[in-house]
Amino acid sequence: MPRPSTPLLSPDRIRSTALAIIDRDGLDGLSMRKLAAELGVQAASLYGHVRTKDQLLNDIASSILSTVDVSGFDVDWREGLIRCARSYRAALSSHPNIVPFLAYGPAGRDESLKRLDILHGALVDAGWSRREATMIAAGLMYIVFGSALSSFSSGFSADPADYSGRYPHLDRAHLLPGVARELDHDSFELALAAFVRGL
């Protein structure tokens, strides 16, 4: 195919298609060839619009992080922490398959740093030392990312035989997958509330 009259590709189209594949097939389900095929194009053509696959993932990650809202600190620092954490988790759990990639180096992304900066400043304004503010922000990230990895309830089997007998206290763990979403949410809320209350 020669140069088409109207371009088939654009960074935006590539990003949104890639994210759709990740949502559907998982992080490992995204390959440049599959992405290209879904766009009606050969793999090599993508590299005219995207520097590298890693960069593509970083751009997608940034666009997800840019939806995080940290504007709740004018009321109360506790309330600000809670709102920030909820917003962060909502952003991550809207595209859970990309979280493992995101969990590597969120601190280095501009979209993440901007929000971290606000959070840090608000905590210092509330009377915490700089070091304490850093640690509190870190702790909040632990809970957000730990819960967003959703490695917990969704990691259980739905087969009762996997638990009964061998794990006396987990005899109803096979019910977890059915309520995974709700339970993960409630566990996150509990952890968040306990953390903020305990500060």
The pair of structure tokens assigned to 29 is 């389900």
Q: Which stretch binds its own copies (CB under 8 A): 12-20, 57-65, 72-80, 167-175?
A: 167-175
Q: Which stretch binds its own copies (CB under 8 A): 7-15, 44-52, 90-98, 170-178?
A: 170-178
Q: How buried is 41 (Cβ within 10 angstroms: 0-12 exposed, 13-18 middle, 19+ buried)?
A: middle
Among 11, 29, 105, 160, binds its own copies (CB under 8 A): 105
In whole angstroms, give the CA distance from residue 54 to residue 148. 21
- Pick one of its own copies, DNA, none as the site partner of residue 27 (Cβ within 5 to 8 A by kind): none
Per CB under 8 A, 165 contacts its own copies: no
Q: Is 40 left (phi over 0), alpha (psi -120 to 50) or beta?
A: left
**b/e code 133-148 from CB counts within 10 Å (16+ = b):** bbebbeebbebbbebb
Cβ-based neighbour number of residue 2 at 10 Å: 4
Among 63, 103, 126, 174, binds its own copies (CB under 8 A): 103
Q: Which stretch binds its own copies (CB under 8 A): 30-38, 46-54, 72-80, 100-108?
A: 100-108
Judge contact between 184 and 153, C-beta under 8 A: yes
- Pick one of its own copies, DNA, none as the site partner of residue 165 (Cβ within 5 to 8 A by kind): none
Nearer to its own copies, 39 or 176 (CB): 176
- Pick one of its own copies, DNA, none as the site partner of residue 57 (Cβ within 5 to 8 A by kind): none
In whole angstroms, give the CA distance from residue 75 to residue 140. 18
Nearer to DNA, 41 or 124 (CB): 41
Q: Is 172 helix (H, G, I), strand (E, B) or coil?
A: coil
In whole angstroms, give the CA distance from residue 111 to residue 98. 16
Nearer to its own copies, 39 or 137 (CB): 137
Binding site for its own copies (CB under 8 A): 100, 103-108, 113-114, 116-118, 120-121, 124, 130, 132, 134-136, 138-139, 141-147, 149, 151-153, 155-157, 163, 166-170, 172, 176, 183-184, 186-188, 190-191, 193-199
